[in-house]
Chains A and B, each alone.
Chain A
Amino acid sequence: MSPSCGGTVDISVSLVLIISFATKSDTGNYSCMTQPPDTISPTVSIQIAGLQGQVWYWMLLGKSAILLFSLASLAVKYKRGELRRLSAHGAVSRLQARRHFGVSRCLTAKAPPARKPRERVEIPGLERITYAERMHYVPGLAKPVFPDWERDYKDPRHYRSPPVHEMPLYKEKPCYVFNQRTSVLEGVRQALWLTKTKLISGLPPHLVSVAENPANQIPDQDERVQNAIKHARFWDTTEERPRKEKYSKTLLINLIHLCATLQSSHPAIGRRILAEKYSLAATWKRGEDLFQIRGQNGLLHNSMDPLPAVSGSQEVADTADHVLETFYPVSPTIDLQKVHVYKEEVNSTGFRGDYPYPHSHTLYFLEGADARCKLRPEQFRANMLMFTFGNALAHAHKLYGTQPQRVLDSPVTVQAVGTNGRIFQFLVFQLNTTDLSGDDGIKNQVWLDEDVELYDFAKVRPLIKKKQVR
């Protein structure tokens, strides 16, 4: 039907119709005649404009303006199978406008709730006779069900992911994933069980002695640290006081910088580099379950040389007598994300193989880094422990392979510092074994120094000048 210019339209009324199955190519002017010839031979002018997937027809007829809605667009979608999928997601179809079409009743009352469609019964062996061939409703025949329409080309803007069971990486056995937002119920005890670790409170004595050695301290240390705190807490903003996320990060960076000023006397500092937002992945088996740690935890100090082992081989062997603490009735996998779609054996330190600083030296954790998850101190320490372990494990897998090793020749040591801006937690983790399946045998070790306050308070007080405040 090619468009033609219609006759004169002497009346200015528009009638809007929505008719399905029309496309934009139907735009144009149509004219119609009715039989028998009537007083009005209306001319129809049809324009088609797309409006959210609906096709609108404007028709000039008569004196009244009528707006007609129809289920046409919905029907088109139904025919395409989209509506069925929409209603499968209960919330989505409920939130769309449901038209109220019954006009034989009062229209001001609330529309009655949508009735559920009649249930389709499948009887095996019986063929359903539908009115699909007849192309129109025939009372007595069944309603045909057409297959869902699938796009025959790939459109990246309209991609529906397959259900979980059909994904290529789907596995029957679930995997428990620990990510940077996980908040485990039992805190450090659960992290210790998951990593098969023995906890020793307090930092190793030789580290403490290193810290107290005046040769390792910067000149004017107290004053410079206080300046760093004041900068982070007071001076780093144009507002009254900086927010917690901001000042904790500024303080950490300032303190790292202060430590780095010792480079002239400690050349090893020059062989380290900071890295941020690196993605860690490590896999291990614990009992019957598969565990993975994945995520971007925070700041990392990488170094060219590995850290020396903290405890000797005798202590390592002694850990075999230690019994891991269980917390019945809570299962150790509580709060971990259970996934069925995962890649097996992912082990990645976050850097490529030829990175010049392959060894993880220290991790820095900030409590306020992720606004979406607020971790309590216990959960924060557990998070620190898990990610330190993950770094060590990924490195051990890279060095020694993914087969579980009962005892590593040289244990992998990683340190971690966590802070909320005022309180610090220090952690030294030593990976002695990658054989984490059983509860017995050599355990890893962690030295944990909890809740060390750097300063008591840093309050912003209003300045009251004498003789100016009445």
Chain B
Amino acid sequence: MMVTFPLLAENNQHQLRAHIKRQPRPQWEENRGVQRSRLDGGGSHPDLLCFSILIRHKGIDLMRHNGIGSSNTKEDVVMALSCLTRGLRSLTVSQPALLSSQVAAQCKLGAQVPTTVGQHRGFLTTAPLEQNKTFWKKREKYTIKPIGMKKTGGRDHTGKIRTHGIGGGHKQRYRWIDFQRLRYEPGKEDQPFEEKVVEVRYDPCRSADIALVAGGNRKRWIIATENMHAGDIIKTSGVIGRMAVLANEGDAYALGALPVGTLVNNLEILPRRGAEYIRAAGTSGVLLRKVNGTAIVQLPSKQQVQVLETCMVTVGRVSNVDHNKQIIGKAGRNRWFGVRPSSGLWQRKGGWAGRKIKPLPAMKSYVNLPSIAAK
């Protein structure tokens, strides 16, 4: 049985064209139903690729919305093949010289393109698999089990180095730290709770030590404070009373509940966001003053921030206090930490170098106080 491939009806062509951007047609282009893609760049011949695009992109739509209105498989085959035949027909008609120049000029495909076949533009025959660089970070359920990490070497998602001096180093497993200290167990909301420190151990991913704490039915990792040992009981409370609480080291309270002048760490600047400041080894901030609903904390860099008093902090200094006194001793130890050598090129230092004596920056406020003028 002979099967006739009908020409595309006009209405079909319009529908097809609607999906592909218009291109100015060169004069010698005589084929009617030809659609071109951007890759053409106004090229002469309808690329086979364009039909492939047609069918690829809109394969299903072609099937759905051809003018015939049938969802018959075979009709669709017919239609698709007709597009291709037309394209191929014009392909053979084109001048080889023009083709090759266009291929040279406009083909941007990489080495995957088979260049042996002459009269067509190259194309990608394989589907690039997604980079699986950050899949290990995409786990949703919390776990205390250490997670295997993939080192990036300072490279970003494009593969180029974005941060120099990172690479190599001992293999590390990531222990998922729960920075939101005031995380209630499901079912026991809004009650201050206590947790027991099970163990305090070294974390290869940060300078501070981490502690495994267990409370209720769950266990989690937190940043350990200076004098934390296994067996301690630490308290977490979000309640702000009228009187300031006499806080023990390692406990976590809201800023409004602490007396002025306490050393704090693991500060969160927005309530329930999770601690983002003062987490490094041996650091501590100072609660300077509390003023109507907000509290002002001095960070280790002497910068002052104003945050809501419901933000949580833990009391005390972060563990591993002698971290800054550590002597590296040799270049190899730095390489074990994953620090690559900096460029040895001597460069004249500019205005950025040298000691600067300047006033402290202004206090940064993370609180949207209603302005007096808005009354």
* Residues of chain A at the chain B interface (Cβ within 8 Å): 1-2, 4, 15, 17-23, 26, 30-35, 38-40, 42, 44, 46, 57, 59, 61-72, 75, 90-91, 94-95, 97-101, 103-111, 134-137, 185, 327-331, 333-334, 338
Contacts and interface: CB of A to CB of B under 8 A. Distances in A.
Contacts of B85: 32, 34, 38, 40, 42, 61
A246 to B, nearest CB: 28
A59 B1 CA distance: 17
Contact of B59 (A64, A70, A90, A137): A70
A437 to B, nearest CB: 20
Nearest to A334: B217
Given A66-B123, A97-B129, A34 B86 contact: yes
A20 B59 contact: yes
A451 to B, nearest CB: 21
Contact of A33 (B4, B193, B194): B4
Contacts of A21: 63, 71, 73, 76
B39 interface: yes
Given A91-B138, A94-B135, A103-B53, A329 B193 contact: yes
B195 A329 contact: yes
Contacts of B63: 20-21
B2 A33 contact: yes
Contacts of B73: 19, 21-23, 26
Contacts of B39: 103-104
B3 interface: yes
Contacts of B82: 32, 34
B131 A110 contact: yes
B333 interface: no
Contacts of A106: 108
A67 B125 contact: yes
A135 B64 contact: yes
A330 B216 contact: yes
B1 A2 contact: yes
A41 B232 CA distance: 86
A64 B48 contact: yes
A17 B57 contact: no
Contacts of A334: 214, 216-219
A64 B88 contact: yes
A67 to B, nearest CB: 5
Interface of B: 1-7, 15, 37-39, 48-49, 52-53, 55-57, 59-61, 63-66, 69, 71, 73-74, 76-78, 80-82, 84-86, 88-89, 91-93, 108-110, 114, 117-120, 123-125, 127-132, 135, 138, 140, 157-159, 193-196, 198, 214-219, 233
Contact of B49 (A26, A32, A103): A103
Contact of A71 (B38, B56, B215): B56
A4 B2 contact: yes
A15 B84 contact: yes
A34 B60 CA distance: 23
Contacts of B125: 67
A301 B59 CA distance: 68
Contacts of A18: 59
Among B38, B60, B82, B91, which residue has the most Cβ atoms of chain A within 10 A? B60
B77 A136 contact: no
A34 B7 contact: yes
15 contacts: A1-B1, A32-B82, A33-B4, A40-B92, A59-B84, A62-B91, A66-B52, A71-B59, A107-B108, A107-B109, A111-B130, A136-B15, A136-B66, A329-B196, A329-B215
A65 B37 CA distance: 19
A6 B97 CA distance: 33
Contact of B158 (A20, A44, A70, A110): A110
Given A31-B2, A35-B7, A61-B88, A331 B217 contact: yes
Among B82, B86, B114, B217, which residue has the most Cβ atoms of chain A within 10 A? B217
Among A40, A62, A97, which residue has the most Cβ atoms of chain B within 10 A? A62
Contacts of A72: 59-60
Contacts of A109: 158
Contacts of A90: 138, 140
A162 B123 CA distance: 43
A95 B132 contact: yes
B135 A185 contact: no
Contacts of B15: 136
A61 B84 contact: yes
Nearest to A329: B194
B196 A64 contact: no
A91 B140 CA distance: 11
Given A34-B7, A62-B92, A330-B214, A111 B55 contact: no
B109 A33 contact: no
Contacts of A30: 3, 77
Given A21-B73, A107-B110, A136 B65 contact: yes
Q: Give the top 3 A-B pairs by smallest Cβ distance, nearest first.
A: A136-B65, A104-B38, A62-B88
A20 B58 CA distance: 12
A328 B214 contact: no
Among A42, A97, A107, A327, which residue has the most Cβ atoms of chain B within 10 A? A107
Nearest to B60: A75
Contact of B127 (A17, A38, A97): A97
